[in-house]
Amino acid sequence: MSEDCDEPNQSQGGVAFLLAQLGAHAAARFADRVAELDLTPAQAGLLRMIAVSPGLSQQTYAARLGTPPSRFVVLVDTLQGRNLVERRRGSPDRRSYALHLTGDGERLMGEMGAVGMAHEGDLCAALTASERSALRGMLARIAEQQGLTPGVHPGYRRPAG
């Protein structure tokens, strides 16, 4: 049951199914790991987005993540309550807030980097270094051809089915 390529019933072993299965597994394992830093995957994703592109308005981040503003507010509330993120009033337009990481937030981002490396290594344990590189290249090509935004996980939009 390894090389059945043209059988109609190959769906359970096809690339599409394996991607869905492994993707859910990777997301669940990542959730386990960031839970040790008291973060949900959504919080971790937002922290990284702020680290990469700081100082934007809440609406901008929300639009990039594809999440509605109402959900975004409570996300920021929680991170601000833990002193990881800071709201600064916009200078020309005082309705908006610009988001920045605090010192604690940047420290936590450092820990998240280590967590991400460990996650990556654990997930790719079955592959050699050159295989990982080849795999990453193919996945990136698929992602680009499918029109996915780099660095944005669709989990912000809808739950899995």
Q: Which positions touch DNA (CB under 7 A)? A: 42, 57-59, 67-71, 73-74, 76-77, 87, 90, 93-97, 157-159
103/86 Cα distance (integer angstroms): 10
Whole-Å CA distances, 66 to 41, 59, 77, 148 = 15, 10, 18, 12
| CB 117, CB 110: distance < 8 Å | no
- Nearest-approach distance from CB 108 to DNA, in angstroms: 20
CB neighbour list of residue 96: distance below 8 Å, 6 or more residues apart: 57, 58, 59, 89, 90
Backbone angles phi, psi at 146, to 5 degrees: -85, -5
- Nearest-approach distance from CB 54 to DNA, in angstroms: 14
> For DNA, which is the closer residue by CB, 3 or 93?
93
> For its own copies, which is the closer residue by CB, 104 or 131?
131
> For DNA, which is the closer residue by CB, 5 or 95?
95
- Nearest-approach distance from CB 92 to its own copies, in angstroms: 31
Neighbour-count burial for 124-139, b at 16+ CB within 10 Å, e otherwise? eeeeeeeeeeeeeeee
* Residue 9 is a binding residue for its own copies (CB under 8 A): yes
Q: Which residues bind its own copies (CB under 8 A)?
A: 2-3, 5, 8-9, 11-28, 30-31, 40-42, 48, 112-114, 116-117, 119-120, 123-127, 131-136, 138-146, 148, 150-155, 158-161
